[in-house]
Amino acid sequence: MGARSRRSLCAGLDIKGWSRRLVPEQIRAQQALVSVALAACREAGLPERIVQSSGDGVLIMPPSDIDESAVIPALVAELEVALRQENRLLAEAARIRLRLALTSGLVTPGPAGFNGTAVIDCFRLLDSPPVKAALEDFPRAQLAVIVSDHLFQDVIRNGFRSLRAEDFWRVRSTVAGKGFSMDAWLYVSDRTGGPVPTSSGSTGAPDGGPDTERGIGADTGRRGGADAEPPRRFPDAWALLEQGRAEEAMRLLDEVPPDDREAWAALLDVRAEALMRLGEYERAALDLEELLGLRGDPVSPPGPRALLRLGRCHAALGAVQEARQTWTFLLEHRPSSVEAYLELGRLERRAGRAATAQNYLVEGLRLVRGEPRGVEPAVADRLLDGLLRELSALPVIDDGEDDGAGVAE
Tell the CATH topology of 6-188: Alpha-Beta Plaits (3.30.70)
* 3-20 average pLDDT score: 86
Span(s) in the chain for CATH 3.30.70.1230:
6-188
pTM of the model as a whole: 0.54
Q: Is the pLDDT of residue 188 over 80?
A: yes
pLDDT band at 187 (very low <50, low <70, confident <90, very high): very high
Among 34-38, 137-141, 199-203, 256-260, top mean pLDDT goes to 34-38
Q: Which CATH architecture has domain 210-392?
A: Alpha Horseshoe (1.25)
Tell me the three-class secondary structure of the chain, residue by residue.
Answer: CCCCCEEEEEEEEEECCHHHCCHHHHHHHHHHHHHHHHHHHHHCCCCCCCCEECCCEEEECCCCCCCHHHHHHHHHHHHHHHHHHHHHCCCHHHCCCEEEEEEEEEEEEECCEEECHHHHHHHHHHCCHHHHHHHHHCCCCCEEEEEEHHHHHHCHHHCCCCCCHHHCEEEEEEECCCCEEEEEEEEECCCCCCCCCCECCECCCCCCCHHHHHCCCCCCCCCCCCCCCCCCCCHHHHHHHHCCCHHHHHHHHHCCCCCCHHHHHHHHHHHHHHHHHCCCHHHHHHHHHHHHHHHCCCCCCCHHHHHHHHHHHHHHCCCHHHHHHHHHHHHHHCCCCHHHHHHHHHHHHHCCCHHHHHHHHHHHHHHHCCCCCCCCHHHHHHHHHHHHHHHHCCCCCCCCCCCCCCCCC
pLDDT, residue 263, reads 81
Q: Is the pLDDT of residue 147 over 60?
A: yes
pLDDT band at 221 (very low <50, low <70, confident <90, very high): very low
Q: Is the pLDDT of residue 136 over 80?
A: yes
Q: Is the pLDDT of residue 119 over 50?
A: yes
pLDDT, residue 195, reads 64
* 20-25 average pLDDT score: 84
Span(s) in the chain for CATH 1.25.40.10:
210-392
The 10s digit of each residue's pLDDT in 65-109 is 888 888 999 999 999 999 999 988 888 888 899 999 999 988 887
pLDDT band at 409 (very low <50, low <70, confident <90, very high): very low
The 10s digit of each residue's pLDDT in 294-352 is 766 666 777 888 999 999 998 888 888 889 999 998 988 888 888 999 999 988 988 88
The 10s digit of each residue's pLDDT in 249-261 is 888 887 766 667 7
The 10s digit of each residue's pLDDT in 375-404 is 667 778 888 888 888 888 888 755 444 454
Q: Is the pLDDT of residue 127 over 90?
A: no
Average pLDDT score, the chain: 79
